[in-house]
Amino acid sequence: MKSSLFKSSYLFIILFLFSFSNISFSKETNVELLKPSWSFDGFFGKFDRASLQRGYQVYKEVCASCHSMKQLSYRNLGEQGGPEFTEAEVKAIASQYEVLDGPNAEGEMFTRKGKPSDKFKSPYLNENASRAANGGAYPPDMSVLVKARPGGSDYIYSLLMGYEEKVPDNIKLEDGVYYNKYMPGNKIRMAKPLSEGSVSYTDGTKATQEQLSKDVVAFLTWAAEPHLEARKKLGFKSVVYLLILTILVYFVKKKIWLRVEPKV
């Protein structure tokens, strides 16, 4: 009984720790994904606030021209566990956008400055407008993009770093299509979005392609898992609780069976 009890507890802990690991793979391309060191990886991982703020800057200046983030509101940028911009900074960020609202008393729609409670403004009015502006391709919403792709953060980072000018002889690219060794099929309609100096970081960090990619992926990971830190804290408490419970159950069992005389 003691052996089976501890085996069950051990198995649970192993499975629990496994659930927090960041497993990266790319079945479609058979290419091992790049695996940078993420601050949010591991059992005690946390988001780097400065990286998240820089990542938002990359999204705003580069990605937001094509990709929406419909599940996020500007106020989320100031919430605990995320970029944690100040209240004043969140209001300033939201006010930079013109938002369609209404109808007013006359039944007409009108535009106003954005508020923290507003959702991130989409670059296009609808999907058809998005496809028309991008040669028929539909730039996916980035709200949960990291969770929606096998390989998660590693895959998105690899994709951003995977553009190559030299194309293998067995691959023929159509007009407006680019080669990316991490993209399934190795063909992608999105031109290389990031290169050194694409963004001038406000905090003075050197904007290499690697840094830009890592920061924006960290931001997208937070957007997809805004409660990641709280979940990990709860998980750790749960494991400690189960370990204590296991030890108590063992000693209770031992005390009870001491009273039972063995049969001769």
The beta-carbon contacts of 5-11 under 8 Å, at least 24 apart in sequence, are: 5/246, 5/249, 5/250, 5/253, 6/246, 6/250, 9/242, 9/243, 9/246
Using alpha carbons only, what angle is made at residue 81 by residues 92 and 240, rounded to the nearest 5 degrees? Answer: 170
- Nearest-CA neighbor of 205 among 58, 37, 31? 58
Q: What H or E segment, with its residue span, contains residue 157?
A: helix 152-161
Mean pLDDT by 10 residues, the chain (264 residues): 44 42 47 94 91 98 96 96 96 95 90 95 92 89 95 97 94 93 94 95 96 98 91 76 84 74 63
Main-chain phi, psi angles of 143, to 5 degrees: -55, -45
Q: Which pLDDT score, from 0 to 100, does residue 3 have? A: 47
> Do the Cβ atoms of 153 and 140 come closer than 8 Å?
no
Quote the pTM value: 0.80
Distance separating alpha carbons of residues 227 and 222, to the nearest angstrom = 8
Distance separating alpha carbons of residues 242 and 2, to the nearest angstrom = 15
Quick one: angle between helices 228-258 and 2-19, nearest 10? 180
Q: Domains in the chain, ordered, with CATH? A: 2-72+119-258 (1.10.760.10)
